[in-house]
Amino acid sequence: MKLLEDRICSEGVVRNGDILKVDSFLNHQMDVSLFREMAREWKRRFAGSEVTKILTIEASGIGLACIAAEEFGCRAVFAKKTAGSNMDAEVFSTKITSFTKGKVYDVVVSKRFLKPEDRVLILDDFLANGCALLGLMDLVKQSGATLVGCGIAIEKGFQDGGKRIREMGVQLESLAIIDSMEGGTLVFREE
Amino acid sequence: MKLLEDRICSEGVVRNGDILKVDSFLNHQMDVSLFREMAREWKRRFAGSEVTKILTIEASGIGLACIAAEEFGCRAVFAKKTAGSNMDAEVFSTKITSFTKGKVYDVVVSKRFLKPEDRVLILDDFLANGCALLGLMDLVKQSGATLVGCGIAIEKGFQDGGKRIREMGVQLESLAIIDSMEGGTLVFREE
């Protein structure tokens, strides 16, 4: 998606070889007019999929999920990284490793919000090794809901998460795929 | 706001006397069509305030902030609860105590996203003792930006956060104020 690639080029900053900072518009400050265009693009790519629920994980995915939920006319749910004290006891649970933060999280969704009749689109801001996405897919599987596919803002195509998930037969729609950022130069995959 | 009060009555669950679970529409599953109406109501209450930035805190405030940012035509920023490894070194920082989770968080916002010329509206899902809101107000003060006011979805009027913040002269617009939930019966403050 050219609009997103252009924004990554103009505002993204590459650090330490493999960290891409896009916090001016995606995951700290959020440019909601860009989010709206991204949501419309996912809606186009998943046209006819009859999505009934958008699933994401706190925190960076939540804004994208909410804007997209308006486009798809459904509710959004965010998986929580730890079970808070007033979290529902009846949850689907999985473990997700965050390499950025060097932690393993228990990630939960209340069983009330993922049902066998749901058709779920998973959205998130980044895809690298795929741990978060595979965890969210596991939650969907536990619920018996149908996974429609996954939408990602920025995929690091030089890590193997996208390849693994596509090889599982999942429709994965990343709006920008970066195949290389060596020396700070961003190379996007052709659509 | 009657629409929100009605939803709290129909879907909210009171637990252990002072916990109100509204996770089916507000802070786990998110009803974005309700969020849109709430955002329009804040826009009406802060009409003419020339808001340039919406500030919230992860995670539950993010969805509300994004939908509201579209109404106000500005960007949203969420304060982060811990400094991640690729967090900007140049941050405004404050400490917020979460009684729900029994923790003290360092909460940060990059200095790049709050500027002296900004006119900031703070939004959050809940207001009880006011710790989170006071922390966010401290971040705005550090930045030199102008605080336009605070918008809250649900205020627990039987705790003192709202009173303290109004006594500071801050325009605080809570869309539903619960003055009592003794015995599980919700009593809303008249508007």
pLDDT for A82 equals 79
- CATH code, residues B2-188: 3.40.50.2020
Mean of the per-residue pLDDT values of chain B: 94
pLDDT band at residue A60 under the 50/70/90 scheme: very high
Question: Above pLDDT 70, what percent of chain B?
Answer: 97
Q: Report the distance separating Cα B55 and Cα B140, nearest Å.
A: 9
Could you read off the pLDDT of B36-52 as tens digits, one per residue? Answer: 999 999 999 999 999 99
Residue B85 scores a pLDDT above 60: no
Q: What share of chain B is helix, strand, coil (3-state, %, to 5)?
A: 30, 35, 35
Instruction: Compute the average pLDDT of residues A158-185.
Output: 97
The rounded percent of chain A whose pLDDT value lies above 70 is 97
Answer whether B100 sits within 8 Å of A84, measured CB to CB.
yes
Q: Is the pLDDT of residue A160 over 90?
A: yes
Task: Answer whether residue A59 shows pLDDT above 70.
Answer: yes
pLDDT at A86: 56
- Here the ipTM equals 0.95
CA distance linking residue A90 with residue A109, whole number of Å = 9
A167 min Cα distance to partner chain B (Å):
30
Residue B67 to residue A69, Cβ atoms within 8 A = no
Average predicted confidence (pLDDT) for chain A: 94
Q: What residue segments make up the domains of chain B, in order of their start?
A: 2-188
Which pLDDT tens digit goes with each residue over B124-181? Answer: 999 999 999 999 999 999 999 999 999 999 999 999 999 999 999 999 999 999 999 9
Closest residue of chain A to B91, computed from CA coordinates: A28
Neighbouring CB atoms inside 10 A of A119's CB total: 18
Q: What is the pLDDT of residue B70?
A: 98
Least confident of A68-77, A78-87, A136-145: A78-87
Chain A nearest C-alpha distance from B53 (Å): 9
Backbone angles phi and psi of B64, in degrees to 5:
-60, -45
Q: State the angle between helix axes of A2-11 and A32-45 in degrees (0 to 180), rounded to the nearest 10.
A: 150
| Confidence (pLDDT) at A72 | 98
Taking residues A62-72, report their average pLDDT.
98
Cβ partners under 8 Å of residue A191, min gap 6: A1
pTM exceeds 0.90? yes
Please answer yes or no on whether A29 and B70 come within 8 Å at the CB atom: no
The answer to whether A80 contacts B28, with C-beta atoms less than 8 Å apart, is yes
Residue A101 has pLDDT above 80, yes or no: no
